Amino acid sequence: MRRLFLKSVAAGALAAILPLPLRAQTQQADAEKFAPEPVKSGGAILSRVNTYDSAPYIEPHASTLVETRAKTILAAWFGGTKERNPDVGIWLARLQNGTWSPGVEVANGVQGDGTRLPTWNPVLFQDPTGDLHLFYKIGPSPQKWWGMVISSSDDGKTWTKPRRLPDGILGPIKNKPVVLSDGSWLSPSSTEGGEGMDGSTNVSWRLHFERSTDKGQSWTKTAPVRSKVSIEAIQPSVLFHKDGRLEAIARTRQGALGMTWSKDNGLTWSSIAAIDLPNPNSGTDAVTLKDGRQLLVYNHSGHRPDEPGKGDRWPLNIALSDDGIHWRNVLTLEDKPLVSGYAYPAVIQSSDGLLHITYTVGRRRIRHVVIDPKKLV
């Protein structure tokens, strides 16, 4: 396996945009403005920190988390001058002795002819052998992007050359793949353009799921998940239920979160239905806890009355459910009003039973929170 060693990225494109002293002043101001609130002792939240105080880019977003076989937590996100700009790359950081390492750029959108396109939505995944995979997208927009992947056999210290996924396979769009009972990998995915719910050709959000039975060498995908009531959904996350069913929770345009169910290990899925939690058209993530409870990180906010399809990305909350249908809001992570809000959470439960959550803060920082799930009731 050919390997590429990581290297820190110099100021690069940003140096041409902001003089060094001004960039330093901006980073310092942002570090103070977006500093996390202190953690209160005795509560479910054990720690709350930003993953960095300064970086050679302005906007980070769309973080992802994984625990390696060495029990190390890794996080990745995209960062650049602004989402959709060509200088946006994929950055990786490592939690070591309670402190986050400086991020390094592990992937970008540089093409063979030298042109550069933006990268999007990294997703970290550890397969059953312990190898890591970092999925991401390259393209000018979500309607025209394609899936990419790099892999690592040494806990993310070095990575393979980027590999483009097969045509029509986008990889996990925002949230982590899961390993099914038969060993297959299931990637929750979606598209943001194409045939509408009524069969017309327009911009429509559609869920689908991608499966690999040969450790990611080849993929198949389901048909788009239908909705009887025209719920348009993207960015699903997969949950496991004790009766063997799978559930996916998704972001929608309709003001409430959506759900779909599978009784055949993800081969087919039920029509999308709304659940009893609001959604301001913002990403979520979910995980099945070791004790069987279902946990969801989301913005407990609906649409603005004057702007259908849009809402505030605050507060940021945790909800629990026993059946995946009825949810209860059990913890508020952030509730201070903030432009751009607290968005695009990622959540995992590590081998020690603790919850790790990352999310974007005001499009200026990635925040990491550790939670004791035993204190969530």
Inside any domain, residue 22: no
Contact 268, 222 (CB under 8 A): yes
- Report if residue 366 sits inside a domain: yes
What per-residue confidence (pLDDT) applies to 58?
96
Buried b or exposed e, range 185-213, using 16+ CB within 10 angstroms:
bbbbbbbbeeeebeeeeeebbbbbbbbbe
Joined tokens for residue 121 = 């939505």
Give the three-state DSSP class for 143: coil
Higher pLDDT, 335 or 197: 335
CB distance 204 to 232 below 8 Å: yes
CATH number at residue 67: 2.120.10.10
Average pLDDT over every residue of 276-291 = 97
| Angstrom distance (rounded) from CA 227 to CA 246 | 17
Question: Which pLDDT score is estimated for 21?
Answer: 56
Give the residue numbers spanning the domain of 90: 44-375
Question: In this predicted structure, what is the pLDDT of residue 32?
Answer: 78
| 7 part of a folded domain | no
> Which residues are within 8 A (CB) of 294 and not within 5 positions of it... i.e. 6 or more apart?
239, 241, 247, 286, 287, 288, 320, 321, 322, 324
The reply to whether 120 falls in a domain is: yes
| pLDDT tens profile 291-349 | 999 999 999 998 887 777 789 999 999 999 999 999 999 999 999 999 999 999 999 99
Structural domain count of the chain: 1
Residue 37 lies in a domain: no
Q: What DSSP element (H or E) covers 107?
A: strand 104-107
- In tens, the pLDDT along 129-145 reads 999 999 999 999 999 99
Report d(CA 42, CA 40) in Å as an integer.
7
Q: Evaluate if residue 7 carries a pLDDT over 70.
A: no
Q: What is the pLDDT of residue 374?
A: 97
Task: Judge whether 3 lies within some domain.
Answer: no
Ranges 19-23, 64-68, 90-94, 294-298: which has the least confidence: 19-23
Mean pLDDT of the chain: 91
Per-residue tokens: 27: 């980073």
pLDDT computed for residue 242 by the predictor: 98
- Residue 198: inside a domain: yes
